[in-house]
């Protein structure tokens, strides 16, 4: 796990990098040079400003107002810098790789690759909106802040994770379809070109999930298919609040659902060493932030180590950060399995000779195959709970719908009369 690849410092030589500082100065200097060079070349400065001012104003506004509000802070809430997230970098690599592969496939199948570069911003924008919307709706209670602005910022901060693949598919397909419809381009043909490339994006994107520590699998013994994540990772937090990290398990008292009873204690675990026994009542279990007073001030608060406090049968037990496990217990590497399976799916669809099938076949096969893979992969993931009174996660329900829709789509494609005319160059975007 490598959530932060690079931390841009808050200030250099005592001057802030963001807000009114170095970066804003760099933008204003670039604008001055742009106008100076234009004037030396005989261009009208006023005309250039009237045409380009929105771009310069937008960049300046983001640097001045937005970036200072998303800087990381230390335990004293002092800004220490801007994090370049591994998840965000892998997301950009995923998009770039998918677009490149789509352009390559388009050229091989007689399309103008420029059409891919034109539709890519639509698909990317729609995909991000769809992926984030799906995630926010699924975990809406986690985004409620103390103020509306805090809530909005939480919803917009997706560089550290919080995107759902199915949401990106839905949003990207809808946005891309709008573009293709407006340009009167063949939707099914483009689907055969683009859909395999989407799984190239999933392949790289899931590696970003490894770096972010999200989309993890269930508990397992340490082996070649397991991963262990550091403190403050989602897995570590889940195992802490379940009691597993401390060496005990608990459940609601059958006689009173408001009471929690310790049902088992792990041999040689922290709980057993503290004398905790099965049958005792768990009153509270919480993080202990008092060690933050000794935390270094040059690291983000999200990296500071906390301790643990548990109140059991009215007695308080406390563990220092140094006493807690250095990593979470092993879990299935669901992200790696998803990444590898997506790569294999991408390669398999790219190998299929699209010209031997009817238009749309490769696209529908891609969706159907991914639906099956995702349904199976959800069996080893534990970060999504069952929905609609079942053990199926929301992604498994969506997989069932996608598989059904794909099979119906294949039936429609092969039930209609096949066209024999060859699309013109204009129809292919040439």
Name, in order, each residue with C-beta under 8 angstroms of 37's C-beta and a sequence gap of 6 or more. none
The model's confidence at residue 161, banded by pLDDT at 50, 70 and 90, is: low
Torsion angle of the four alpha carbons 403, 407, 408, 413, in this order, in degrees rounded to the nearest 10:
140
pTM higher than 0.85: no
pLDDT in tens, 263-278: 999 999 999 999 999 9
Nearest alpha-carbon partner for 101 in 199, 25, 222 = 199
Q: Are 97 and 201 in contact (CB under 8 A)?
A: yes
Nearest one of 230, 229, 234, 243 to 308, comparing CA atoms: 243
Query: To the nearest whole percent, how much of the chain has pLDDT over 70?
Result: 90
Q: Under a CB-based contact definition with an 8 Å cutoff, are residues 247 and 269 in contact?
A: yes
Among all chains, which residue has been given the structure tokens 């937005």? 66
Q: How confident is the model at residue 123 (pLDDT cuts 50, 70, 90)?
A: confident
For 137, other C-beta atoms within 10 Å of its C-beta total 12
Q: Which of 249-258, 302-311, 353-362 has the highest mean pLDDT?
A: 302-311
d(CA 60, CA 267): 59
Average pLDDT over residues 230-248: 94
Q: How far apart are CA 23 and CA 10, in angstroms?
A: 11
The domains found in the chain, sorted by start residue, are: 86-228+330-430 (no CATH), 232-323 (2.30.42)
Mean pLDDT of the chain: 87
Measured torsion, CA atoms of residues 101, 92, 237, 155, in degrees rounded to the nearest 10: -120
Could you give phi then psi for residue 120, rounded to 5 degrees?
-55, -45
What span, in angstroms and rounded, lies between the C-alpha atoms of 137 and 292?
33
Q: Report the alpha-carbon distance of residue 339 to residue 200 in Å, rounded.
A: 9
Q: Which parts of 62-164 fold into alpha helices (H)?
A: 86-108, 113-138, 148-156
**Packing angle between helix 45-61 and helix 22-40, nearest 10 degrees?**
170
Q: What is the secondary structure of 8-55 as a DSSP string?
A: EESEETTEESSSSSHHHHHHHHHHHHHHHHHHHTT--HHHHHHHHHHH
- Number of Cβ within a 10 Å radius of residue 335: 24
Residue 97's pLDDT band (boundaries 50, 70, 90)? very high
Summarize pLDDT for 76-86 with one digit per residue, the tens.
999 999 999 89
Nearest CA to 139 out of 169, 113, 167, 178 is that of 167
Share of the chain above pLDDT 90, in %: 52
Angstrom distance (rounded) from CA 233 to CA 240: 11
pLDDT of residue 255: 80
79 secondary structure, DSSP code: E
Dist CA 230 CA 304 (whole Å):
12
**Percentages helix, strand, coil for the chain, rounded to the nearest 5?**
55, 15, 30
Query: Which tokens go with 22?
Result: 């170095």
DSSP-based three-state secondary structure for 248: strand
Q: What is the mean pLDDT of residues 150-172?
A: 72
Nearest to 365 by CA among 407, 318, 306: 407
Alpha helices in 82-112 (DSSP H): 86-108
Residue burial 306-326, b: 16+ Cβ < 10 Å; e: rest:
bbbbbebeeeebebebeebbe
Instruction: Answer for the pair 34, 41: CB distance below 8 angstroms, yes or no.
Output: no
pLDDT for res 387: 67
Q: How many CA atoms lie within 13 A of 107 on its CB side?
A: 8
Instruction: Determine the Cα–Cα distance for residues 207 and 1; give it in Å rounded to an integer.
Output: 10
Helix (H) or strand (E) holding 84: strand 79-85
Banded model confidence at residue 38, pLDDT cuts 50, 70, 90: confident
Q: Are strands 307-312 and 72-73 parallel, antiparallel or unpaired?
A: unpaired
pLDDT value of position 154: 66
pLDDT at residue 421, as a whole number:
46
């Amino acid at each position: 796990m490598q959530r932060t690849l690079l931390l841009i410092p808050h200030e250099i030589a005592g001057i802030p990098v963001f807000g009114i500082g170095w970066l804003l100065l760099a933008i204003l200097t670039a604008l001055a040079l742009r106008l100076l060079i234009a004037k030396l070349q005989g261009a009208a400065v006023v005309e250039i400003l009237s045409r380009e001012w929105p771009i310069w104003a937008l960049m300046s506004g983001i640097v001045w107002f937005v970036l200072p509000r998303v800087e990381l802070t230390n335990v004293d809430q002092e800004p220490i810098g801007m994090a370049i997230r591994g998840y965000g970098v892998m997301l950009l690599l995923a998009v770039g790789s998918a677009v490149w592969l789509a352009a390559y496939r388009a050229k091989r199948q007689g399309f103008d690759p420029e059409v891919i570069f034109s539709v890519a911003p639509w698909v990317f924008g729609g995909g991000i909106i769809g992926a984030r919307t799906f995630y926010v709706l699924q975990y809406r209670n986690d985004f409620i802040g103390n103020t509306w602005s805090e809530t909005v910022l939480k919803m917009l901060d997706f560089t550290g994770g919080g995107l759902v693949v199915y949401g990106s598919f839905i949003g990207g397909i809808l946005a891309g379809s709008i573009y293709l419809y407006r340009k009167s381009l063949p939707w099914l043909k483009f689907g055969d070109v683009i859909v395999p490339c989407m799984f190239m994006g999933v392949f790289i994107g899931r590696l970003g999930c490894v770096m972010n520590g999200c989309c993890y699998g269930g508990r397992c013994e340490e082996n070649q298919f397991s991963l262990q994540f550091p403190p403050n990772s989602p897995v570590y937090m889940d195992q802490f609040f379940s009691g597993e990290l401390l060496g005990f398990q608990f459940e609601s008292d059958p006689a009173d659902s408001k009471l929690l009873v310790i049902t088992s204690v792990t041999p040689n675990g922290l709980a057993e060493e503290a004398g905790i026994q099965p049958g005792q009542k768990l009153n509270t279990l919480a993080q202990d932030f008092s060690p933050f007073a000794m935390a270094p001030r040059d690291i983000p608060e999200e990296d500071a180590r906390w301790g643990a406090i548990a109140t059991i049968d009215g007695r308080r037990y406390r563990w220092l950060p140094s006493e807690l496990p250095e990593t979470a217990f092993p879990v299935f590497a669901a992200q790696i399995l998803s990444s590898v399976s997506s790569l294999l799916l991408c390669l398999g669809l790219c190998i299929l000779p699209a010209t031997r099938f009817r238009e749309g076949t490769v696209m529908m096969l891609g969706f159907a195959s991914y639906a099956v893979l995702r349904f199976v992969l959800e069996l080893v993931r534990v970060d999504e709970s069952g929905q609609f009174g079942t053990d199926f996660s929301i992604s498994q329900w969506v997989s069932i719908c996608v598989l059904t829709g794909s099979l119906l789509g294949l039936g429609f494609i092969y039930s209609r009369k096949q066209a024999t005319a060859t699309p013109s160059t204009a129809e292919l975007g040439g």
